[in-house]
Amino acid sequence: MLSEGGSFMKGMVMGGLFCLVLSLLGSFSPVTESRTDDNHHHHHHVKAASKDELQQLSDSRLQELNNQLQVYCVVMVQPKSLVYWATALDTWTKHCDKAEFYTSEASKALEAIDLNEKDDWARLRKALKHAYENAGDIRWFFVAQPNTFAIIENLKYLVLTKDPEQPFYLGKSVKSGELEYVELNSGIVLSYEALKRLVNVFQDEDKCPERGRQLWKLSDDKQLAVCLKFTGVFAENGEDVHGKGLFNSKTVDSLISESMKQNPSNVVEGCCSDLAVTFSGLSANQMQVMMFGVYRLRPYGHDFHDLLTFFPPKGSDND
Amino acid sequence: MKTVSSSLVELDFIRSFIMRPKCVTFTIGLIFGYLSLRLLLTSMFSVEPVSDLVRNEKNRLHAYKVHTEASQKNNSAVNPPNATRILCWIMTGPRNLESRTKHVKQTWGKHCHHILYMSSEKTDFPTVELNVSEGRENLYWKTIRAFQYIHQHHQDKANWFLKADDDTFVVIENLQYILSKLDPEKPLYLGRRFKPFISQGYMSGGAGYVLSKEALRRFVKGFQTGQCTHFSTIEDMALGKCMETMKVEPVDTRDVKGRQTFHAFPLDHYVIRQQPRPRPWHMIYDYYVPNEGPNCCSDFIVSFHYIYAVQQYVLDYFTYHLRPYGYLHRFRPDEIVEDNNKTNKGG
C-alpha cells in the first residue's frame, strides 16, 4: 500500500512539474493576457462607461462631471471646400462648447483663424498650439475636418469618466507598420494632458520637426502619432461598451451597404453603434440630413433613461 | 499457431506490466498532478478576462433589455381594448420581393401589429394573392381588391388600416401617436394631402395613407352599391374620390407646429435649407403650404417615399438606433399643455 501511495505522489509531482514547464514555455498560457493596465495606457482601446458603472456614481458626482465636461472643436478648413465649411458651421459644430475654424488662407465668405499655412502638418501644429493656448477651462479637444459629422454628446459620453489630466489620444486607431495612429478623417480626441505634452514636444526639432522629414513625407495624422509617441502617449481605439468602434471613416450609407452583404439578417445591429461619435466622407446635403436624423427623427414614446442631460444649443433651428 | 501464441504472450506481458499496482498509481498521480496544477494556474491568473466576459455579457443583456423594454412599452399600450391597432398592407409584386419588400419586412414591417403583403401571386414570403395582374394600370384594381380582402378576412384585427408601397418607410409609433387621439368609428382618412382633382383633396399613395375602420366599411360599401367605381387607374386620386363620395373626412396630419408627418419624397427633398423660392415641382400638389428646410418635417415623422433597400436600413438606424446620448429634444409636445392655442396651422 505504502509503495503504491509513494508512486502516486511521485506521479503527482511529475505531472505538476510537467504542467509548470509547459506553461512557462508558453505553449498554453493561462497567465499571459491578463496583466491589468490601470496605470499604463498600453491597452489599445478605450471604452465608454457602462450603465452600471455610471449608476455607481452619485448624482452630484454625475452632475459635476456633466458640467466640467467641455469640448473644444478644432476644425481644419480650406477655402476650396467652402461648402463643407459652411455646413459644418451650421450643423454639428454648434454642439461644441467652443468651435474654432482654422484655415490655410483667409476667405472673404467665412470667418476663421487664418494660419496662413499651406502645409497640412505645419497647419495642424499651429492650430493645436493655438487651441492649447486658448483652452480656458476646457479639457477635451476634438480635431476634425468639415466633411466629418460628429455627435459631440456621444463624444462626451465616451470620455465622461476619463481624467483629462491623463494623456488620452483617441479615435479610429489604425496600424501602419510599427506605427499605431488615429485617423484624422474620423476625428481625433485629445485630453488636456496629451495636448500639453504635444505642445511641449513641438519645440524639439529632432523628435517632432515642423516641416517633417524631407525624404519621406508622412501624412499629418501619422506625424501627430509619431510626436505623441515620443511623449509617451499612444493611440487608442474609441469603442462603445460592446467593443464597437465609435469613430467611422465612412458614411452611414456606405457602412449599411457593407453590413447588408456581411450580415443580411441583422443589418442595422451589425453595422454601427447606437452611440457613434463620427461618420465621414459626407456631402454637404448629407450632413444636413444627418442633423435631422440624429437630433430630431425619433419614435414617439421611446425613453432611454440616460443618466446625463445635454441641452440643445442656443439660437439653432435644425436640432 | 505460433504467431497467435507469441502475441498472446506479448499481450500477457504488457498486461502484467500495466497491471502492476505501482504503475497504475503513478499514472493516476501524473494525470492528477497535471490537472490540478493547471486548474490552479488558470483560476489564479484568468480572473480578469473571466470577469470581463461576465461584465460584457451583462452589458449586452442589459442593453438588449433596455431596447426590448422600449419597444415593449409601445406594444403594451395596445393591450387595453380601446387601443390603436394598425394593420399594414404593402402593395408589392413578385419582381420586388427580393429587392424591396424583403427590406421592409426586416425593418419597419416588424413594428406593425399585423402586416400583409399584397401581390398578384401567392408565395411563401408570405404574399396574398389578389386576382389582379401586375402593372401600373392595375394599381387601383389591386387597391380595391386588397381592401375588400382585408374587410372580408381581417376586419377585426385592427381599427386602422395603413396602405404603403414597397418603397415607403413608415414609423409606426409616430402614426400611432396621431391615431390615438382619433376615433376609429368615425369615417377618417389620413396621409399627405394633395389638392388637385378632388375638391376635398386626396392622400398621396406613395407616402402611405390610413383608413379608419368606418372609412374601410364605407369604401367597401361604395363598391357594393356602385357609388364608387374603377373610373381611373390613378390609385390614390381615385380612392380619394371614393372617400369624398362616401363622406369620409381627410385629416390634417401636421404636428402642433404645422410640420408635416407624411412625406411623398425622401428627407433630402425637404430638409435642405433653401433660399425663399416658388414651390418646387415636387411640392406643387401639396394641400397645405409646405415649408422647406428644417421646419419641413415633424420630429415625429410618419413616412417617406422612394426609399430603396439601403435607405430602409439607414432610416431604421436613424430612427431607432443612433441617438445623441442624454440629449434634451427641443420638441416635447406632451409638455406643451398650455400651448394649445398657439398652433402654426396656416393652410
Q: How far apart are CA B244 and CA B240, in angstroms?
A: 6
pLDDT attached to residue A58: 86
Give pLDDT tens digits for A251-297. Answer: 999 999 999 999 999 999 999 999 999 999 999 999 999 999 999 99
The conformational region for residue B160 under phi > 0 = left, psi -120 to 50 = alpha, else beta, is beta
- Per CB-CB distance under 8 Å, the chain B contacts of A241 are 56, 59, 63
Q: What is the DSSP string of A206-244?
A: TTS-SS--SSSPPPHHHHHHHHHHHTT---EEEE-TTS-
pLDDT attached to residue A84: 94
Phi, psi angle pair for B302, to nearest 5°? -100, -45
Report chain B's mean pLDDT, rounded to a whole number.
Answer: 85
What is the domain partition of chain A in residue ranges?
45-238
For A317, counting Cβ atoms within 10 Å of its Cβ (0-12 exposed, 13-18 middle, 19+ buried), the class is exposed
Name the residue among B245, B246, B259, B334 with its Cα closest to residue B289. B259
The amino acid that residue B209 corresponds to is Y
Q: How far apart are CA A106 and CA A118, in angstroms?
A: 12
Topology of domain A45-238, per CATH? Spore Coat Polysaccharide Biosynthesis Protein SpsA; Chain A (3.90.550)
pLDDT attached to residue A179: 93
Q: How far apart are CA B242 and CA B248, in angstroms?
A: 8
Q: How far apart are CA A150 and CA A291, in angstroms?
A: 10
Whether B159 shows a pLDDT value over 90: the answer reads yes
Q: How far apart are CA A52 and CA A54, in angstroms?
A: 5
Q: How far apart are CA A271 and CA A266, in angstroms?
A: 8
pLDDT attached to residue B87: 98
Residues 63-82 of A with CB under 8 A from B: none
Residue A83: C-alpha distances to residues A179, A279, A287, B192 (Å): 34, 17, 11, 32
Residue ranges in chain A modelled with pLDDT below 50: 27-41
CATH code for the domain defined by B81-324: 3.90.550
The amino acid that residue A136 corresponds to is G
Please indicate whether, in this complex, the C-beta atoms of B73 and A301 are within 8 angstroms of each other.
yes
Q: In sequence order, what are the residues at sequence separation of 6 or more whose Cβ sits closer than 8 angstroms to the Cβ of residue B72? A: none
Q: How far apart are CA B196 and CA A100, in angstroms?
A: 50
What is the domain partition of chain B in residue ranges?
81-324
- State the greatest distance between any 2 C-alpha atoms of chain A, in Å, as a whole number: 100
Judged by a CB distance cut-off of 8 A, whether residue A294 touches chain B is: yes
With a threshold of 0.90, does the pTM exceed it? Answer: no
Q: What is the DSSP string of A106-146?
A: --SSS--EE----SHHHHHHHHHHHHHHT-TT--EEEEE-T
Q: How far apart are CA B293 and CA B270, in angstroms?
A: 6
Q: How far apart are CA A206 and CA B259, in angstroms?
A: 60
Helix (H) or strand (E) holding B22: helix B21-45
CA A144 to chain centre: 11
Handedness of CA B61, B65, B66, B67 (dihedral sign): positive
Nearest residue on chain A to B57, alpha-carbon basis:
A242
Binned at pLDDT 50, 70 and 90, residue B46 comes out as very low
Most A CBs within 10 Å: which of B103, B173, B323, as the mutation test of the A interface?
A: B323
Give pLDDT tens digits for B112-154. Answer: 999 999 999 999 999 999 999 999 999 999 999 999 999 999 9
Binned at pLDDT 50, 70 and 90, residue B42 comes out as low
Residues β-bridged to residue A237: A45, A171
Cell of A264: 443580411
Q: How far apart are CA A139 and CA A71, in angstroms?
A: 7
Residues β-bridged to residue A173: A182
Give pLDDT tens digits for B171-206. Answer: 999 999 999 999 999 999 999 999 999 999 999 999
| ipTM value greater than 0.90 | no
Give pLDDT tens digits for B261-314. Answer: 999 999 999 999 999 999 999 999 999 999 999 999 999 999 999 999 999 999
Q: How far apart are CA B344 and CA A23, in angstroms?
A: 75
The partner residue sitting opposite A8, judged by closest CB among B26, B177, B327, is: B26
pLDDT attached to residue A213: 58
Per mean pLDDT, which of B47-51, B54-58, B134-138 is the most reliable?
Answer: B134-138
Binned at pLDDT 50, 70 and 90, residue B57 comes out as very low
Q: In sequence order, what are the residues at sequence separation of 6 or more whose Cβ sits closer than 8 angstroms to the Cβ of residue B6? A: none
Check if the beta carbon of residue B91 is closer than 8 Å to that of residue B164: yes
Task: Characterize B199-237 residue by residue with b for buried, 16 or more Cβ atoms within 10 angstroms of its Cβ, and e for exposed.
Answer: ebbbbbbbbbbbbbbbbbbbbbebbeeeebeeeeebbbb
pLDDT attached to residue A210: 82
- Per CB-CB distance under 8 Å, the chain B contacts of A152 are 324
Please indicate whether, in this complex, the C-beta atoms of B295 and A151 are within 8 angstroms of each other.
no
Q: What is the DSSP string of A276-304?
A: --EEES--HHHHHHHHHHHHT---TT---
